[in-house]
Amino acid sequence: MAEKKIVFMVDKLPYKGETSRLALTHAIASQTVEIHLEDDDLLVPVLVFSGKGVLNCLKNQKALETYKVTSLENHVKNALLLDLKVMYCAEDVKKFGLTEDMIVMDAADIGGDVTAEIVPFDDILGEISSATHVMYF
Amino acid sequence: MGKLTIGCFSSLVGSMTLDFSVKLAKAAMDKGHSVDMWLSGNGTTLSKTGQRSFQDYSSLQKTVEELVAKGMTLVACEACAEARGLHKEDFMPGCGRKSMDWYLASCFHADRVIHIGGE
């Protein structure tokens, strides 16, 4: 059995470009990758938001009304619904004056069980160190 | 020999990132490695056939077609391409269209991954 971890690291702003959206859709695609793998193979995704990337996770985004596109908030919720490990850089959350109640921490309203974590950057470095591959978006 | 997977999200022309990616792919193949290249976001523009070569713009189609003929696997994100009006008939010969899980599986099996996100 082979287990490989991929860290999807997002540090770009939402909506200014497409990058953070693609990070989320690629991370979520990890849930269907098994059709391409051997039975015992396992891909473990970790979704990390750092720098300006933490702004992707703000609550009450009006993307549908403004741009007629799905919000990044919804994508983060979908990631949590699919049990992806989601981490926010604590230093950057603090730097932007954000608190837990301002960002998506769970997807309980759509049936999710997993909770996001706000962690020091050192913990994120730990995830990166133990990853097979890092995708920096 | 190893397997290299390159993911590129930057556009054809307007950026030299795809040029770098193609040069890297060629260098790896010249050394005997196998290469998968994934195009997503604006990177899907590389898949377009009929690219016209001007001296003021980089030109990649001929090089990419040669690499594909030598065995490079070139695949574009189908949704990203369709959203840009790049339909199946617009693709250069040999360029596949798949979803993102194909890229992740390619990364899973790769010895090294070079992932170049968008601007």
| Encoded tokens for B111 | 């010895």
Q: What is the mean pLDDT of residues A5-26?
A: 96
> What is the tens place of the pLDDT at every residue in A65-85?
999 999 999 999 999 999 999
Let me know if residue B114 belongs to a domain: no
CA pair distance A94, A83, nearest whole angstrom: 25
Contact state of B117 with A6 under an 8 Å Cβ cutoff: no
Between helix A19-28 and helix A72-81 the angle, nearest 10°, is: 20
Question: How many whole angstroms separate alpha carbon A46 and alpha carbon B61?
Answer: 35
Position B117 in a domain = no
Mean pLDDT confidence for A126-132: 98
Q: Which domains, ranges and CATH numbers included, belong to chain A?
A: 3-136 (3.40.1260.10)
pLDDT tens-digit map of B14-37: 889 999 999 999 999 999 999 999
Q: What DSSP designation does A115 have?
A: B
A136·B113 Cβ contact <8 A? no
What CATH code is carried by the domain that includes residue B38?
Answer: 3.40.1260.10
pLDDT for residue A60 is more than 80? yes
Q: What is the helix, strand, coil percentage profile of chain A, to 5?
A: 45, 25, 35
Residue stretches of chain B with pLDDT short of 50 = none
State residue B26's pLDDT score: 97
Q: Is B113 on the interface with A (CB under 8 A)?
A: yes
Q: What is the DSSP string of A41-87?
A: -EEEEEEEE-GGGGGGGBSS--HHHHHSS--HHHHHHHHHHTT-EEE
pLDDT score for B86 = 97
Domains: count for chain B: 1
What distance in Å separates residue A126's CA from the closest CA in chain B? 19
Q: Give me the sign of the Cα torsion angle A30, A34, A36, A38.
A: positive
Contact A23, A62 (CB under 8 A): no
| Binding-site residues on chain A for chain B (CB distance < 8 A) | 2, 4, 6, 12, 17-19, 22-23, 25-26, 29-30, 32-33, 35-37, 41, 43, 133-137
What range does the domain containing B85 cover? 3-107
Q: pLDDT tens, A22-33?
A: 999 999 999 999
In a domain? residue B113: no
pTM over 0.90: yes
- Domain annotation covers residue B85: yes
Residue B94 within a domain: yes
Of A116, A111, A127, the C-alpha closest to A88 is A116
Query: Are B40 and A43 in contact (CB < 8 Å)?
Result: no
